[in-house]
Amino acid sequence: MKLFEYEAKKILANYGVPTPNGGLAENSKEACEIASRLKPPFMVKAQVLVAGRGKAGGILSAVSVSEVEEKAEKLFSSKIKGLPVRKVWIEEKINIKRELYFGVTTDRLHKTYVAVASSVGGMEIEEVAEKAPEKIIKFYINPQRGFHSFHARQIAKKMGYKDGQLTKLERIFLGLYKAGMDYDAELIEMNPLVETMDGEFKAADARIIIDDNALFRHQNFKKRMLEGESELTPQEVEAIKNGLAYVKLNGNIGVIGNGAGLVMATLDTIKYYGGEPADFLDVGGGASSEKIAAALKIVLLDPNVKTLFINILGGITRCDEVARGILKAREKVGVIKPMVIRLVGTNEEEGKQILTKAGIHVLESMEEAAKKAVQLTKQREV
């Protein structure tokens, strides 16, 4: 889960990381009130869950309170990379001497966390790695030993700092690391971390992505996400609410299966026969009729879906429960799109009878079912 900049900065500030003075506004009047309590000049920053806001026009400067109001109104009436701006962060503009980068993320290849630093900040770290790899400092963090003061000092020294400034960076790096661990961050970064003209350091921008699997430990953020204030689509929010694994894709054949491996195989088979899957949706083992109905509703929220392909290999999941769920969904949601269903396994015959009686044909072969789904989709496109 991505956090907004203002959320990330508040967290970092609690861990001793210096950030610019600022406040959150939900309208231009609030923006003026906040600016009146700060020292000019100002930065007016759209709070949207995308990277590269500055290049997209989401970060504006202002020299007076009246200009803050003008810039805030402009942002509130705009979209940044397709996302509407509902909140803006007003903060004091920093007198910058140098822009740095520091972050901690996961390295799946080495199965550990890695601290990444650079004396070149303010741009995508991937871009720095490509254009100036010698300016990237990496430190792999032993998960049992953690990240300590002497590690932070080594990194700061490699960045060219010494004495008092080295000590300041040490505290900042440690604070960010501790915040990342406490908040189960997949990524936590300051970009840029700026050195001011008077030799201080401040996180001019901050980003935190929390591991979705750890959200049960961060209920306030989970609640916000489920209320729709996140980068997730309506389908993804519904899937989380119903305990389903869902990923939106770009095709037009809606896919529902039980088990990640089976769903992946289904996607591959659809592609093999010339079709394009619209999603990955795994209802998991032992799915009830209610869960199947919820899965159908989620897939049908996608207007691009032309055909539904339901692929169930019944083990813990009972085929008769799946069949009842399909009928329940058809009645509730009003399914008018063609469905291709493959049912094999526990209570298979009972499930087939339930669906056949309702006029829904059931297939046994995944290949045959995938071919049928692709064929029906192409017919609807003509």
pLDDT value at residue 335: 63
pLDDT value at residue 170: 97
pLDDT value at residue 55: 84
Q: Which residue among the candidates 189, 238, 321, 348 is catalytic per the annotation?
A: 189
pLDDT value at residue 301: 85
pLDDT value at residue 196: 96
Among candidate residues 267, 236, 231, the one with its CA nearest the CA of residue 251: 267
Q: Which residue among the candidates 6, 99, 101, 195 is catalytic per the annotation?
A: 101
CATH number of 1-20+95-231: 3.30.470.20
Kind and range of the H or E element at 107?
strand 96-107
Concerning whether 177 is annotated as a catalytic residue, the answer is no
pTM of the model: 0.80
Q: In the chain, where does the domain assigned CATH 3.30.1490.20 lie? A: 21-93
Residue 240 gets the label, from left (phi > 0), alpha (psi -120 to 50) or beta, of alpha
- In order along its 382 residues, the chain shows pLDDT tens digits of 899 999 999 999 999 999 999 999 999 999 999 999 999 999 999 999 888 888 889 999 999 999 999 999 999 999 998 889 999 999 999 999 999 999 999 999 999 999 999 988 877 778 887 887 888 999 999 989 999 999 999 999 999 999 999 999 999 999 999 999 999 999 999 999 999 999 999 999 999 999 988 989 999 998 888 876 777 778 888 888 888 899 999 999 999 998 899 999 999 999 999 999 999 999 887 777 788 888 888 998 888 999 999 998 877 778 888 888 888 877 777 667 888 999 888 898 999 999 988 888 789 899 999 999 999 999 877 6
Concerning whether 350 is annotated as a catalytic residue, the answer is no
Contacts 24+ apart (CB under 8 A), 105-110: 105/186, 105/187, 105/188, 105/189, 106/186, 106/187, 107/140, 110/140
Q: In the chain, where does the domain assigned CATH 3.30.470.20 lie? A: 1-20+95-231
Q: How far is residue 84's CA from residue 232's CA, in Å, rounded to a whole number?
A: 14
pLDDT value at residue 375: 93
Cβ 92 vs Cβ 111: under 8 Å: no
Q: Which two tokens stand for residue 258?
A: 């039980």
Q: 233-381, what's its fold?
A: Rossmann fold (3.40.50)
pLDDT value at residue 382: 60
pLDDT value at residue 124: 76
Q: In the chain, where does the domain assigned CATH 3.40.50.261 lie? A: 233-381
**Which CATH code of 3.30.1490.20, 3.90.226.10, 3.90.550.10, 3.40.630.30 fits the domain covering 21-93?**
3.30.1490.20
Angle at 14 between CA 68 and CA 33, to 5 degrees: 20
100, β-bridge pairs: 193
Q: Which two tokens stand for residue 224?
A: 């916000």
